A and B are shown apart, each in its own frame.
Chain A
């Protein structure tokens, strides 16, 4: 799992409002060389949550990213190289992604995050309970 993907994942348990970013527990990571594309980096930069990327890359032992970044830095080759490395070349192979609100652990195995929820974590519309609750508590 690249940190680009980590930057796109949030806790999917229904009702969670503060589920991003997921905290990283790193058991095994690798660095894989990836072809550089300045165009891609410039396109994706506005969509990246920078602090989440910085913290995630630090948990993989990479602390070269500046704490803050703005689009003017995209003119700098040096910045682009660091951005590229953190975003695409650090791979979490084994570990856990942890929801900051619920503590729910989403495992990452062989580089694949598992976001599948258990039945009780998925919202199920229960009309009967909804009406019952209204009668008991006068609220929806």
Chain B
């Protein structure tokens, strides 16, 4: 006998009880808060053998966003983006907690794994929320036009230190393989995030202690970003950080100050190399310690 459940949407005031009908009998049960979650529900998240299921890192990222929810709502973002959406758990949660079109917020999600974009699509639909989903490598194809207009970016990157040849493999490996120090994909994502983020753009990224978060934060500082650890979770094996980055005008003034250096041949060679390969230039030290 299927019980008929009277379910209301999250935005309305919470009822104190829910009536369910079993057979001919209507029963009243007290409501538990969990039924009206501000994030995606695991039971509604779709899955596929080649797609990364929500795990500690996904929950940490969503918890960080929930912890910062008031700030996010006051910030009034227009465009929010997830790079590496996997199962869709995070982008769905973000859409639930910040609201949709009526609130003026739009969502984009990308993943390099073609199964993941499909699963994300299903997860979004199961929760009744919408995001534009695109099958691509980080933001390839979007970089030119989205430049400087993404207000919130969330990333749970492949951060696990692995052999280099595991990076960029097809299927579920792409969800975790991060190469040396787990930094290969993170280091590709950061300059792209810098390009896409608006002046008031915020980036939330998951990283391990093994990825050397302080080095990442320092490099981001030289690009004019302040940073803060919002969530930190440690187990015996690994230490997860969720770091928030935002453009800080005080820091940006500092970064623009000219550095006096003596120019050597090696310096000019490096300059020319960096100008041809913007990805390398992102990591360039302004104090010339190559």
Contact = CB atoms under 8 A, between A and B. Distances in A.
The answer to whether A and B assemble together is yes
Interface of A: 1-2, 4-5, 7-12, 20, 34-37, 39-40, 43-44, 47, 49, 88, 106, 110-117, 125
Contacts of A12: 136, 140-141, 143
Contact of A35 (B101, B118, B135, B146): B101
A20 B104 contact: no
B133 interface: yes
Interface string B12-51: 0000000000000000000000000000000000000000
Interface stretch (B61-69, B106-114, B187-195, B228-236): B106-114
Contact of A113 (B103, B121, B134): B134
B199 interface: no
A47 B144 CA distance: 12
Nearest to B117: A112
B282 to A, nearest CB: 16
Chain A's interface: helix, strand, loop or mixed, by majority? loop
Contacts of A106: 141
B253 interface: no
B137 interface: yes
Contact of A47 (B101, B118, B134, B149): B149
A96 B283 CA distance: 37
Most buried by B among A1, A4, A5, A49: A5
Contact of A10 (B101, B103, B144): B144
A12 B140 CA distance: 6
Given A4-B132, A110-B121, A116 B104 contact: no
A61 B130 CA distance: 23
B55 interface: no
